[in-house]
Amino acid sequence: MHAPLLKTLGGLVLTLVGTAVHADEITVTDVAGREVTVDAPVDRVILGEGRQIYLLGALQPEDPFAHVVGWREDFSQADPDNYAAYAERFPELKEIPTFGGFKDGTFDVEQAAALDPDVVLMNLEAKAATEDAAYDDKLAELGIPIVYVDFREAPLEHTVPSMRLMGKLLGEEEAADAFIDFADAQMARVTETIEDADPERPRVFIDRAGGYSEDCCMSFGPGNFGEYVEIAGGTNIAKDIIPNTFGTLNPEQIIAANPQHVVVTGGNWDAYVPGGDWVGVGPGADMTAARAKLEALTERTAMTGIEAVENDNVHAIWHQFYNSPYYFVAVQQLAKWFHPELFADLDPEATMEELHQRFLPVDYAPGYWVSLKEH
């Protein structure tokens, strides 16, 4: 019997015996500031981005796919190592229908409607494209609400509200609060130390997806990883050059800024750029190979003569920290690189391991960062 049919029959049996959770109509305000009325707790959810499972995994670690009836096919491509870990424990995820993107106009409204979702969770960055293509109007006509969440455009501002929002929709508010308390406590271990010590701030260049293409160099303005740098006690060299969250620097701008640290974001991107020069950090990564690729990136024109290269302060960190609720781990690791004397007792590896043990459905595997300056 097909898995979705089994799930439907199982839900019917639960309803008949009176053990199903009663849904009430509630109105929530999403991160786009929209008031949305939804029957909650929701039972059938479409994920507008597959990596929203990072949040669902923390809210419902025993079965994060229990209510997912469709999702965008990006998790397996952008983060294949974590996808494999989730698939090993929850093989049913392979049977979940996948969608095209909202931003590229390949989302299928009829396919979505056929799955009878209670809500579509959409990432904030897709809002303009969703409205331009009138997906929102088409879904509204079918009685399918869209709720916007965000942990990418403004992760430090929106991740906590998004987690609370998803907790409310799923009836998992206690789980959301527990995760948020943990994240806040881990962030405080950095922010309080930086505030008390007020150290001299090193100049930092964040090389977004360095080696992904031959172009140089994508980076972050005042948001996302750019903001992580500032919180961790550094100065983002692009904050006054790139006006928005994402943008580019040319090699001359990087050389002129003479960064004292370079942090490359990396991942396993064989699905996009097979055999590329990207640095393959992530769960279970080959550290020898990652370090070799990181070192090779220092040969680019943009790295000519800068202090970071001369002092081996060139690092790589998992790209998906920019797009997940685990941002506080990235902030801790950045702080440890920028101010090792202040954070000698801080162990981001232990934080990441505790995160997995307490909240996530998959086991921790090291490999999320590497540095040329490692003893």
Residue with tokens 């060299």: 237
User: Shortest CA distance to 205 belongs to which of 239, 179, 155?
Assistant: 239
Output the pLDDT for position 100. 78
pTM: 0.91
Whether residue 66 contacts residue 60, with contact meaning beta carbons closer than 8 Å, is answered with yes
Structure tokens at 296: 């090779």
pLDDT, tens digit, for every residue of 7-57?
443 443 333 333 455 679 999 999 999 999 999 999 999 999 999 999 999
Residue 253 class from Cβ within 10 Å (0-12 exposed, 13-18 middle, 19+ buried)?
Answer: middle
Examine the pLDDT at 147 and tell me if it is beyond 80: yes
Examine the pLDDT at 6 and tell me if it is beyond 50: no
Structure tokens at 228: 């992580």
pLDDT, tens digit, for every residue of 71-87?
998 999 999 999 999 99
Whether residue 208 contacts residue 216, with contact meaning beta carbons closer than 8 Å, is answered with no
Type of residue found at 234: G
Report helix, strand and coil shares of the chain as percent, to nearest 5.
Answer: 45, 15, 40
**CA end-to-end distance (rounded Å), the chain:** 55
pLDDT, tens digit, for every residue of 292-319?
999 999 999 999 999 999 999 999 999 9
Whether residue 354 contacts residue 183, with contact meaning beta carbons closer than 8 Å, is answered with no
Lowest pLDDT segment from 18-22, 91-95, 147-151: 18-22
- The CA distance from 314 to 370, in Å, is 9
